Amino acid sequence: MTSDELRSLFIDYFTGLGHARIQGASLFPENDSTVLFTTAGMHPLVPYLLGGRHPAGRRLVDFQKCIRTGDIDCVGDPTHLTFFEMLGNWSLGDYFKREAITWSYEFLTGRSWLGFDPDKLSVTVFAGDDLVPPDEEAAAIWMELGIPSERVHFLGRADNWWGPAGQTGPCGPDTEMFIDTGRPACGPECRPGCGCGKYFEIWNDVFMQYNRTREGAYEPLAQRNVDTGMGVERTVAMMNGAESVYDIPLFRPLFDFLGKASGQGSGVDGTELRSMRVIADHIRTSTHILGDDMGVPPSNLDQGYVLRRLLRLSVRHARKLGIEGSVLPDLARIVIDGESHVYPELARNRAFILTEIEKEESQFEKTLQSGMKEFEKLLPNLLRNPSGIIPGRVAFRLYDTYGFPVEFTTELAREHGLDVDIEGYGQALEKHRELSRAGLDRKFGGGLADHSDMVTKLHTATHLLHKALREVLGDHVEQRGSNITHERLRFDFSHPAPMTADEIEEVTRRVNAAIEADLAVTFIEKTVEEAEEMGAIGLFKARYGEVVKVYRIGDYSMEICGGPHVERTGGMGRFVIQSEKSSSQGVRRIRAVLE
């Protein structure tokens, strides 16, 4: 089975059950500032999970590209990827546990669908705690379908609870489905989720039946939802009897290229195999970050920092395989050619992808040369050290400041009869990771998930700001991202130069004039084509499916959007721009508040 075949099967199955197919969203969340990337299919649908009416109805099905960087150091093992595709079916206040579990079972085991042996299926359900009772209902449904009680495992919050997208909001227990690979158990306590490789998770049904309040309580949700996620790569691996997610048709061209470029062919294992997997994963992720219509170039901030890290790790592992010279652009071309039929934005943004990868690869080569020079400057003092050991903090500084991989430091040390304090390096690295981990998947603490009054006002203000910027600076201005907390809004937009003081003052004046005019905020539902004909600004139109919401703020602003809005602009407060600065090449960033 290929990824294309699995996507088609899944969509066909659920459209046959009355689900409307919708388009997946960008990798860059618009209405969720709690994450740098879209990490799950639920992020674009938060407004509807909170009770908003989706234009396509109450039963939805889609596939979504996702990035999760929290496990970036695990990439290379049989199961972890930073970029992956998630299949999902959704109930927005329609069906609930019985239907969701029954359909999951039928799709997994039915002969017309995936046809897994029911005897190889194990499931987990929420065990309950002091705040929420155990999910006995889900367990009972699984056992009614024929899963024996010994293969229904009750696990705690860390395993079988799906929290809200932000600090508050919809949440609930989940049930996860695992395929027994036939490998030996790791011990008497071996169970799904233990990580030994015997059990392979491929699907997760989330039952959003609670709302987490600011006080940390869990109240029954007025609209109960179902949010499911099936990993494409993992499921294809299990369908093909593969040993890992990398042993599927999707990755084969990348491994063939790396095998030839390294001269090692396809029969590698150990560290060489891990390096090939890391490169394959990271170049695929990087290509999709750059290829997204909201794509950003490598930088030292936010998503650009993640991208830079992935590309530089790819170069490092290429050198470990003995591959010299430029290699990443060729790998990116393989990803573009192999996946643009599913994600046409890769073809649209092909030139940008290749240009940025070439620039970053070249720049990193210079960085490595700088690291070499710094090492040579340090060498005389290092040689005088009677222990013959390079301190871990020195090796880490070479890595952190100059991007010089510790493996390179170790190789150079050996050439001069020295060793490296790898344990000390690891301690310094772990300390750094603890400090920066929040800057990856969980960088921000607020967001739109709770739809508070202030967040709603600030989100509405971004529409007025967007319109004012286009009036003052020109129609080339397009939104490139936003991040909204309870305290402020942050708005990224395309513009080639810093704004002047007069331009900032005029934009501020226009936004406040729209607020003071007490304009009505209304919306209508249109097809994408109709919205474009009306002149609606629609940078994010691909996120919402074929039918979209077009929000009007009086006669001033008209934009496609799926977030929360005030009913009238009067009373929003006085709009103040606190700063205007560069975000990345050709992109400016405004930070503003409502006083």
Q: What SS3 string covers 202-249?
A: EEEEEEEEEEECCCCCEEEEEEEEEEEEEEHHHHHHHHCCCCCCCCCH
- Sequence-distant (≥ 6) Cβ neighbours of residue 566 within 8 angstroms: 456, 457, 460, 521, 572
pLDDT at 32: 56
Query: In a 3-state reduction of DSSP, which class is residue 191?
Result: coil
Q: Rounded to an integer, what distance in angstroms lies between the CA atom of residue 183 and that of residue 427?
A: 34
The full set of domain ranges for the chain reads: 3-239, 249-357, 453-594
CA-based nearest residue to 217, from 162, 173, 171: 171
Cα radius of gyration (the chain): 26
Give the per-residue pLDDT at 540: 46
**Distance separating alpha carbons of residues 77 and 219, to the nearest angstrom:** 39
Per-residue pLDDT of the chain (595 residues; tens, 9 = 90+): 999 999 999 999 999 999 999 989 899 886 555 678 888 877 778 778 877 888 899 999 999 999 988 778 788 888 889 999 999 999 999 999 999 999 999 999 999 999 999 999 999 999 999 899 999 999 999 999 999 999 999 999 989 998 876 677 778 999 999 999 888 888 888 999 887 888 989 999 999 999 888 888 899 888 899 999 999 999 999 999 998 999 999 999 999 999 999 988 766 777 889 999 999 999 999 999 999 988 889 886 788 888 988 998 898 889 889 898 899 999 999 999 999 999 999 999 999 999 999 999 998 888 778 888 888 889 998 898 889 999 998 998 888 777 777 877 887 888 889 999 999 998 888 877 665 444 444 443 434 434 678 888 999 999 999 999 999 999 999 888 788 877 789 898 989 899 999 999 999 999 999 999 999 999 888 877 788 888 888 654 444 446 778 899 999 999 988 778 899 999 899 999 999 988 777 889 999 999 9
Eight-class DSSP state of 496: S
Give me the phi and psi of 31, to 5 degrees please.
-110, 30
Q: What is the pLDDT of residue 447?
A: 42
CATH code of the domain occupying 453-594: 3.30.980.10
Give the integer Cα–Cα distance in Å for 298 and 573.
36
What angle do helix axes 350-384 and 328-339 make, rounded to 10 degrees? 150
Q: Give the Cβ contact number of residue 215 at 10 Å.
A: 6
- The CA distances from residue 7 to 66, 203, 493, in Å, are 15, 14, 34
Region of residue 321 (left: phi > 0; alpha: psi -120 to 50; beta: else): alpha
365, 357, 362: which is closest to 298 by C-alpha?
357
Task: Give the pLDDT of residue 34.
Answer: 63
Pick the CATH number of 3-239 from 1.10.3720.10, 3.20.19.10, 3.30.930.10, 3.90.1150.10: 3.30.930.10
SS3 (DSSP) at 587? strand
* Whether the Cβ atoms of residue 335 and residue 346 lie closer than 8 Å to each other: yes
pTM: 0.70
Through-space distance between the first and last CA atoms of the chain, rounded to whole angstroms: 57
Query: What integer pLDDT is reported at residue 441 of this predicted model?
Result: 41
C-alpha 387/C-alpha 413 separation (Å) is: 13
Q: How far apart are CA 284 and CA 82, in angstroms?
A: 9
- Give the per-residue pLDDT at 261: 92
pLDDT given at position 464: 96
